[in-house]
Amino acid sequence: MSSHDTLVRRLSEMLFKLNQGERLDPTALAEEFGVNIRTIQRDLNERFAYLPLEKHDRLYALEPSYLGRLTFHDINRFASLSGLAGLFPQIDQHFLRELFDHRMQEAMLIHGHSYEDLSQQWELFKQLQQAIVQHRQVIFIYQKTEGEKEVTVKPYKLINHTGIWYLAAVDQDKVKSYSVAKIQKLFVSQHTFPPDQTILDMLQHEDSIWLNKQKTEVILKISVKAAHYFRRRKLIAGQVIEKELEDGGLLVSGRFAHPNQILPIVRYWIPNVTIVSPEAWQQDMEQELRDYLKQ
Position with higher pLDDT, 161 vs 190 = 190
Query: Which ranges in the chain are annotated with CATH 2.30.30?
Result: 120-205
- Residue 273 CA to residue 252 CA, distance in Å, equals 10
Question: What pLDDT does 163 receive?
Answer: 83
Q: What is the mean pLDDT of residues 54-73?
A: 76
Does the domain spanning 3-66 belong to CATH 3.40.50.150? no
Position with higher pLDDT, 42 vs 2 = 42
Contact indicator for 261, 271 with CB cutoff of 8 Å: no
Question: What pLDDT does 100 receive?
Answer: 60
Distance of alpha carbon 211 from the chain centroid? 18
Please report, rounded to a whole number, the percentage of residues in the chain having pLDDT higher than 70: 85
Contact indicator for 77, 33 with CB cutoff of 8 Å: no
Query: Which ranges in the chain are annotated with CATH 3.30.70?
Result: 216-294
Least confident of 4-8, 156-160, 236-240: 4-8
Contact indicator for 146, 137 with CB cutoff of 8 Å: no
Question: What pLDDT does 37 receive?
Answer: 92
The distance between the two most distant Cα atoms of the chain, rounded to a whole number of Å, is 85
Question: What pLDDT does 78 receive?
Answer: 63
Q: Which residues contact 169 (CB under 8 A, 6 or more apart)?
A: 138, 153, 154, 155, 156, 175, 176, 177, 178
Least confident of 206-215, 222-231, 251-260: 206-215
Q: How many CB atoms lie within 10 A of CB 199?
A: 18
Q: Which residues contact 20 (CB under 8 A, 6 or more apart)?
A: 68, 71, 72
Asked whether the predicted pLDDT for residue 82 surpasses 80, the reply is no
Question: 20: pLDDT confidence band, cut at 50, 70 and 90?
Answer: confident
- Residue 288 CA to residue 284 CA, distance in Å, equals 6
Q: How many CB atoms lie within 10 A of CB 41?
A: 14
Please report, rounded to a whole number, the percentage of residues in the chain having pLDDT higher than 90: 50
DSSP 46: I
| Class at the top of the CATH hierarchy for domain 216-294 | alpha beta
Contact indicator for 224, 248 with CB cutoff of 8 Å: yes
Question: 5: pLDDT confidence band, cut at 50, 70 and 90?
Answer: low
Q: What is the mean pLDDT of residues 113-119?
A: 79
Number of continuous H segments (helices) and E segments (strands) in the chain:
10, 11
Q: What is the mean pLDDT of residues 15-41?
A: 89
Asked whether the predicted pLDDT for residue 126 surpasses 70, the reply is yes
In CATH, what number does 120-205 get? 2.30.30
- Residue 207 CA to residue 160 CA, distance in Å, equals 10
Question: 99: pLDDT confidence band, cut at 50, 70 and 90?
Answer: low
Question: What pLDDT does 295 receive?
Answer: 86
